[in-house]
Amino acid sequence: MSHTFVLVPGTWVGGWVWNAVASHLESQGHRVVAPTLPGLSPGDDPSTVSLADAVQFLVSELERRDLRDVVLVAHDWSGIPVTAVANRVPERIAKLVYWSAFVPQAGESLLDTVPSADTEMLTRRAEENGGHSMVVPFERWRNNFVQTAPDAVRDMTYGLLRPMPFAYLRESLSAADAATPGLPTTYLVSSQDLTLPKGEEWWAEKYAARLDVEPVAFDACHAAHLTDPALVADQLVTAAKA
């Protein structure tokens, strides 16, 4: 059975981050859409976009393409807008897949939910860049996001990152948009994910619990769509069938 996957990127990246995963999925007969959110394309002004813009953009993409029976996949930050999309157009979505992704609560921004040291780092980086956007420090990318990759890949991928609109990180959803969607849902987690500290603040413990689902772990780093795309594609297909 073929599926339509909509793969939503996380922080600092565009739809290109899913290219290798998309190739594996398409080779198996699946349809793939991997949008780049407003503010993250070359030439975009990150100071002009809001979290509401990201949500509306995704809703409009589903409607414009008339996508139905979608497997909607969120990674990292995009769990926030994806949750809102699932609440606004549930009739278009067959399955939700969160992969090491934030699951929002009403009025809670990404800056509210990450450890305080991360909030301070992200805010400081944005202030150093005029207050409108920021990029993660290279050391953090190298050691926590793609630590399983060769050095050359760590360097190359960091060079592709785009400044993230800071509004995406400091704005939150309404109660209606942040409600737990009443849709079939899988929560995937990379077992070598070092972007959040292991323990009660880690992805599986904190965010899968919010969905009241058992997390499904696989052996990879946080940005495994860049380091092991075949594995990620296989996990997504398995989740779509579950």
Q: Are strands 164-165 and 133-134 parallel, antiparallel or unpaired?
A: antiparallel
The average pLDDT across 169-189 equals 97
Predicted confidence (pLDDT) at residue 201 exceeds the cutoff of 90: no
What are the φ/ψ torsions at residue 101 (nearest 5 degrees)?
-125, 150
Contact 81, 50 (CB under 8 A): no
pLDDT tens for each residue of 38-57? 999 999 999 999 999 999 99
Give the chain's length.
242
CA distance linking residue 142 with residue 158, whole number of Å:
8
Q: How many CA atoms lie within 13 A of 116 on its CB side?
A: 0
Residue identified by tokens 């998309």 is 22
Domains in the chain and their CATH numbers? 4-241 (3.40.50.1820)
The average pLDDT across 159-187 equals 97
CA distance linking residue 96 with residue 74, whole number of Å:
8
For residue 207, give both structure tokens. Answer: 């965010």
What are the φ/ψ torsions at residue 43 (nearest 5 degrees)?
90, -15
Collapse the DSSP code of 219 into the 3-class scheme (helix H, G, I; strand E, B; otherwise coil) and give the result: coil
Please report the pLDDT score of residue 52 as a whole number: 98
pLDDT tens for each residue of 110-147? 999 999 999 999 999 999 999 999 999 999 999 999 99
Predicted confidence (pLDDT) at residue 200 exceeds the cutoff of 90: no
Q: What is the CA radius of gyration of the chain?
A: 16
Predicted confidence (pLDDT) at residue 108 exceeds the cutoff of 90: yes
Please report the pLDDT score of residue 208 as a whole number: 93
Predicted confidence (pLDDT) at residue 199 exceeds the cutoff of 90: no
With cut-offs at 50, 70 and 90, classify the pLDDT of residue 192.
very high
Please report the pLDDT score of residue 49 as a whole number: 97
Q: What is the mean pLDDT of the chain?
A: 97
pLDDT tens for each residue of 51-90? 999 999 999 999 999 999 999 999 999 999 999 999 999 9
Please report the pLDDT score of residue 211 as a whole number: 95
Output the pTM of the full model. Answer: 0.96
Please report the pLDDT score of residue 80 as a whole number: 99
Please report the pLDDT score of residue 204 as a whole number: 87
